[in-house]
Amino acid sequence: MSIDLTGAWARSAEIEVRAGAGALALRLPEYAGVQVGVRKGVANVDAYGLRQMGSTYTNDRFGQTETELDIDILAGVGTIRLVLEGTID
């Protein structure tokens, strides 16, 4: 499953993503503050352009912008790929 959250956000949002088995890819906006919390079973997380603290990933703008995305991922088995816009294709 692939979810593209890039683009301009007019307001902050709380987003919940539930994924079972398989691959999950999230493309995240460059200009909003982003925080991603990951609750996982047997899943690997690959994060690009984000800092990791435990099971939470944030970009440099989190806590510094009016518009923020607070994303909660619940995943079973597979790979989670978090890509901040502008870091890799």
Residue 19 lies in a domain: yes
Instruction: Please report the pLDDT score of residue 89 as a whole number.
Output: 63
Contact in structure between 16 and 61 (CB atoms under 8 Å): no
Residue 18 lies in a domain: yes
Residue 89 lies in a domain: no
What is the Cα–Cα distance from 37 to 52, expressed in whole angstroms?
Answer: 10
Domain count, the chain: 1
Residue 30 lies in a domain: yes
Secondary structure tally for the chain: helices H, strands E: 0, 6
The 10s digit of each residue's pLDDT in 32-42 is 999 999 998 87
Hey, is 56 helix, strand or coil?
strand
Residue stretches of the chain with pLDDT short of 50: none
Q: What is the pTM of this model?
A: 0.92
What is the Cα–Cα distance from 32 to 40, expressed in whole angstroms?
Answer: 25
Residues spanned by the domain of 73: 2-84
